[in-house]
Structure 1
């Protein structure tokens, strides 16, 4: 009998989970409620990560079959390094920006906007979502969603079965944007000059000085972000949220590069533009309406 039990044990060992290559896992008979929830969470997390990996692999393969890969396109150069801590991002050892899992689509959208303003997305060139996804180390889905948002904003246009083409812009469009911005913001600036006390304008001087530091870096994308922050702070004193949204959208569109010279504005041009912010604050504090109107119109006309 002892020998029979021994043979049955050996047979069970040969045909059990260990023999089939699957590691045997000891499961306790009972778990406390908290332990059960924790275990379930771990299983769900593992399943989600596995599903994400599968989606990424399928996205790359599907994009290739749809012809979304434009093999002749040039990879996007690494954006210029931002100097301010608020906008600084992590960079992996291979030079690719590290995208955090939280709000991936939003981070990709910000990165694409930065590349667009910096002239790293060439007007007229087609970029595929899988190729851009490889550059950021993410799946093609958040990149495609971000590019679709840029299409709604007018920065790119969809090219079926290929990807997204950066819109070609000319000097006329830039002049039209400057005219619209002046029509909207000049009256607001004049009203603020009459009603806002001088000490409130003094509170905005750190933002004006920040634009000068950003211009000193010579990085067009860094300056663009600082420039918009200053203008938003000025217009925020009007207390009109819809105005802020419309003005910021027009401002962002005005910062897209021209096809003739995507990165024409150098450090000297950026510094001259930034100096106008300080001059504008001085005129607003002094309630000099003539100078305010002149500065705002010239500032918009010179933005590119």
Structure 2
């Protein structure tokens, strides 16, 4: 399949400060793949993606090589990089594992999150809402990733956080664009403030239940554009 042009240009500055340009480009590419802005099965060339991000092809190639190790892309000699496809069964399995890990971990984290950390967590939740308001799917995916992994970090279990990070990376949220266009994604973004309300109320049980619904959305409405049965 030939390389294709990419229609829009995300704001790398809005994605936050990172150590290197390669990392900034890699994070943006990963989020674009998860959100479906870079389409499964399509081959993209490094020069085309470089033009999108306003950088030379070199950091794009370096970032894409990193993403091949994550299984998100496959190198196509003399063409570029093909975005890998994820089956419905794979998405079911990813959601099932996340349901086993994330809701009970959030429940256990709620009592130990220091009150002085509430404002910074609120800011992370607001970043998700802000991304929706500026129609930035890539920014939405990255802000959502940061918020949830930060919350899970209060478990003091680095291995658990790394596993969840990998599971989230392998997920595809191809239903996000229709949700954004219909205005429904804003309701989902606001759920993160609802979760923070429960955290501040020290209601771990309710926070656990909200996380179960949240992951259900990921597998249903967000992943495919049609709510789960």
Partner of 1:226: 143
Structure 1 unaligned residues grouped into runs of 5+: 1-69, 90-101
Partner of 2:186: 271
Partner of 1:138: 56
More helix by share: 2
Partner of 2:226: none
Partners in 2 of 1:117 and 1:251 — Cα distance? 9
Q: CA deviation at 1:229?
A: 2.0
- Cα distance, 1:242–1:220 mapped onto 2, change above 3 Å: same
Residue 291 of structure 1 aligns to a residue in which SS? helix
Task: Write the mapping of 1:131-280 to structure 2, written as runs, cut at 5 A.
Answer: 131-133=48-50, 136-139=54-57, 141-196=58-113, 200-201=117-118, 203-254=120-171, 256-258=172-174, 263-266=177-180, 268-280=183-195
Q: Does the CA contact (< 8 Å) of 1:208 and 1:277 recur in 2?
A: yes
Task: Please tell me whether residue 74 in structure 1 is matched to residue 4 in structure 2.
Answer: yes
Partners in 2 of 1:203 and 1:257 — Cα distance? 26
Task: Write the mapping of 1:13-52 to structure 2, written as runs, cut at 5 A.
Answer: none
Residue 164 of structure 1 aligns to a residue in which SS? strand
Root mean square deviation of aligned Cα: 3.0
Match among 115, 122, 145 for residue 32 of structure 2: 115
Task: Please tell me whether residue 289 in structure 1 is matched to residue 217 in structure 2.
Answer: no
Q: Does the CA contact (< 8 Å) of 1:198 and 1:286 recur in 2?
A: no
Structure 2 unaligned residues grouped into runs of 5+: 223-229
116-125 or 271-280, which deviates more = 116-125
Q: Does the CA contact (< 8 Å) of 1:190 and 1:292 recur in 2?
A: yes
- Cα distance, 1:198–1:171 mapped onto 2, change above 3 Å: farther
Partners in 1 of 2:68 and 2:123 — Cα distance? 34
Residue 155 of structure 2 aligns to a residue in which SS? coil
Partners in 2 of 1:192 and 1:289 — Cα distance? 8
Partner of 2:15: 87
Comparing both chains, which one has the higher relative contact order based on Cα–Cα distances under 8 Å and sequence gaps of 6 or more? 2
229-238 or 130-139, which deviates more = 130-139
- Higher Rg: 1
Residue 135 of structure 2 aligns to a residue in which SS? coil
Q: CA deviation at 1:297?
A: 0.9
Partners in 2 of 1:234 and 1:226 — Cα distance? 12
- Cα distance, 1:155–1:269 mapped onto 2, change above 3 Å: farther
Partners in 2 of 1:167 and 1:262 — Cα distance? 18
Q: TM-score, normalised by structure 2?
A: 0.77
Partners in 2 of 1:206 and 1:133 — Cα distance? 30
Residue 73 of structure 1 aligns to a residue in which SS? coil
Q: TM-score, normalised by structure 1?
A: 0.60
The total of aligned residue pairs comes to: 216
Partners in 2 of 1:169 and 1:291 — Cα distance? 32
Residue 168 of structure 1 aligns to a residue in which SS? coil
Partner of 2:225: none
Residue 93 of structure 2 aligns to a residue in which SS? helix
